[in-house]
Amino acid sequence: MFRTITATYANKAAVTNVVDELINGGLPSEKITSDDATMLVMVKVPTTEVPGIMEILNRHEPTKIS
């Protein structure tokens, strides 16, 4: 089973850093969607990987996460 996690950030740099960290951590880029205009990152992962992904997303201080 998969879950999509959406995080919004205060600035474009945070979006870039999150995406870079997710990819460097081994997440395939096709599982990540980002939008610099809305400063949004969406990640589709198996439910077993949610805790690790949430840790990465929270490191960059999202303004909203769901």
Q: What is the pLDDT of residue 5?
A: 98
Give me the helices (H) in the chain, please.
12-24, 50-59
Of 54, 56, 40, give the one whose Cα is nearest residue 3. Answer: 54
> What is the pLDDT, as a whole number, of residue 61?
97
Interval 19-36: pLDDT, tens:
999 999 999 999 999 999
CATH numbers and ranges of domains, the chain? 2-65 (3.30.1370.120)
Determine what percent of the chain is predicted with pLDDT higher than 70.
Answer: 100
The predicted pLDDT at position 27 comes to: 95
